[in-house]
Structure 1
Amino acid sequence: MLLGIAGLFVALFTGLMLQLKLQRTAQQRRLEAELRLPDTLRVVTLSGATTFFTYKDEPMGYQYELVRLFAQEQGLPMELFVAHHMDEAVALVRSGKADLCITPHAVTRSSKDELRFAGPEELSGLVLVQRRRAAGTDSTHYIRNVSELLGRPVTVLRGTRAADRIRHLEAQLGGPIKLALIDSDTTNSEDLIDQVATHKIDYTIIDQELARLAKTYYPNIDVSLEVGFKQRLRWFTSPERRGLAEALDRWAAQLPRQEQASEIYRRYFELNKSELPEEEPHQLPKTLTDNKRYRWRGELAHIHEGGISPFDHIFQSEAKRIGWPWQLLASIAYQESNFKPSIVGWSGARGLMGIMPRTGRIYGASPEQLLDPQVSVRVAVDCLLATERIFKSIPAGDNRLRITLAAYNAGPAHLEDVLRLSAKYRKGGHDWDEDIEPLLHLKSEAKYYNDPVCRAGYLRGKGVARYVDQVMSRYQLYKSKGTKIPEEGKRHGLD
């Protein structure tokens, strides 16, 4: 009897020890899984001006390039998912379908309960956008502190943090600010920045990170005055991804000393990408100055008797393949490089015609070869021919030409998005002035670039529209200076 009880006790003890061992093994496996880096880093982001976008079919974005740098240093392959809104991104991370979200999220007490914040940290508030003091004869009052906003006209988007902040400022300052509220269906923050830069409005208030980016496009604006409290913003993963979070934190601590990270920041937030010349127009025929936003600069310095640039013979030879006037290729070249064949732009576009390295490889040219003017123009014409074929359903003429130029600048995928938006909202119209250009502008607004018919995401469409306007206006300038337009150009309606 005693032996039976003892045996039962031994069996129970052995079973208990086995169960505890199994529990410890399972806990150990869970801990190891939490501490282990993923085999492939699955990243989710929202499309946007500073997060992720495509330009000339190249993936770009400040946050995207930072996480790509992290993945490379860790030796991790990376997959990217683009969410339509932050709730979707959070759900993907919490469900384990994505490992990391790189669209910075506000670090709050409630968000820390469900997310593990990691990686780079930003402090971003609201800033006033105004024209800088040295911008010429502008008589607009320069605001040095928030109290000077009293009685001043400030234009912001309805329903935004900026609109709420102005109401709080009025209560704090004890007086009215002339608040103009704009519906976001017709205008976005980038439009308001452009309106300040072009003297259409005097002041607006936007997020600090977008303001820093905007400053590289509009050197005549000032974004130094902070008007709102700063938020802590960080990437996030799930609490179960301890190893990934700790690796991100260690990596982020070293970022200020990393040359590659500093170069990424410089390209997005410091390098000049200006689209608005500051000089006054030269004396040109009235038809070329009426209703034009462009102010003529160095292109006049290049023009000589019967010619435009040192590369005219290349333009003339290659233009025959596409049936365009060679002066139009010359206008593209000036837009892309100011006729500087060795230039490399902030985006990585290279050479006389601003070709991206990936595009060059598609057409058989290395990055070094793209700095050869002959190769650059040849690849540009190859690219333009292929792009024009994509839009062959649009009748030949001015509309197709402008769409092709826009696609050359932004990448065909964005113009295909615009045509799908046109089919959805404008009965399929492809008139440049009535349909395409307005929709290009809307492609920088989340409502439209997140529309299910859009596949290429965010686009700074205002810049693309301005690119086309400037290329075509400069073409008219070159024509006005007496350079001969060939018969091919006349057949395209460019006489």
Structure 2
Amino acid sequence: MRKVYSSLILLLILVFTGACNSGGQKKGGKEAAQKVPDLEEILTAGKIRVVTNYNSTNYFVYKGQPMGYQFELLQEFATFIGVKLEVTVNNDLQTNFEALQNGLIDIIASNLPVMRESEDYIAYTAPHSFSRQVLVQQAYSSDQKGSNNIQYNTLIRNQLDLAGKSIYVQKGSAYVQRLRNLANEIGDSIHIVEIPDYEVEQLVELVAAGEIPYTVCDENLAIVNLNFYPNLDVETPVSFPQKQAWAVNKNAPELLNAINNWMVSFTQTPRYQRIYQKYFLNKRSIHLVDAGFHSIKGGQVSVYDELIKEESQRFDMDWRLIASIIYQESRFIPDAESWAGALGLMQLMPETAERFGVQSITSPRDNIRGGMQLLQWLDERLALRVEDSNERLKFVLAAYNVGIGHVLDAMKLAEKYGMNPTIWNDNVDFFLLHKSDPKYYNDPVVEFGYCRGEEPYQYVREILERYDHYKNVMR
């Protein structure tokens, strides 16, 4: 069904655009030698690989959920073409361009200023927004935190006054090239200090603390940061207003056409306006950061992070996986109770808690420990059938949700119908998903009967997707 749907999407896009784009002509050399997936290959694979940058507006995790301006746009586009969104994070622009050139990613999704001169292999999409780059400087400082002895600083308002100044920017960012161009424009030197291990907002914070004199930031992001650092000034532009867009490889013209057609239409919708306002204009959004459960400012997924880390270490499991399971099960509410009687952070059934010696089922530590004992027990039994640990994790998660019996039934069905019983995606998951169909739950190989398979099917997918986001931002 996915292949049929993908083919229809591709056909509609090609008809709409005329399948013509001069940027799609290969220019030979290194560019032509590297096979770059275009829209047809992306639809066939069922996923689109995207890199974005990690900051408090574009992509982050808040209270366990991935969020962000770029992330929500990407979700909308992935849904539009009917594929899974695969997000990675890298704030080094040069590394991202190399990955794009080598066909390792399909889109660079960030606030890229559209430049007339760029690498031969880069194609910018239609803009998703407009902004200018501004100088971030300290407007005033005080002797110590809370002191009334405020000293106001002399502010730079003329770009000519940047001559001889040291400006700290993220290595490989678009700000580096802009400052080089600006130095040429003013006919004098600007000392550009490229910092490899700091994102733009960390540099903004250093300016606010008085540890560095200047940095450069996109104006819309700079204005958001004024909510956190009121002693900053961001009113001096270092560029004209610029189109901000995504980038794809020029050897993927159908993908470029698809994004452009979608972007031009989507940015005119109320839905887009709500997304932009949510991250850049709504002052209530600053409470996302103030609350602490923000992967950039607070650095926490939940109040139970340290507890989850301690218990995960006991069982040699990744705490970010356990956090993703807990979010799915209870949204980190320790006394949550399901309609079926499951209790606590990891939603243990009373009989399961008794089996594993859980003293207090609503105690966060006891509940987490009991849940991890169940995960370990499931893993040990499924290891006899599924050797690969990464693949086995999907079976374990499904069994945690719906019981190991239904998962074993789905494996038997997969084997009977010529599918691979040790592979989850498009094999065993299909039969668990359809175990509510009499054709399958009445099959002689089935022991545990009817199962509403939609829930465990989505359960596995959602936990692993969230786990990927946690791995992106939580070290």
Fold shared by both chains (TM-score > 0.5): no
TM-score, normalised to structure 2, is 0.44
Q: Which entry has the higher C-alpha Rg, 1 or 2?
A: 1
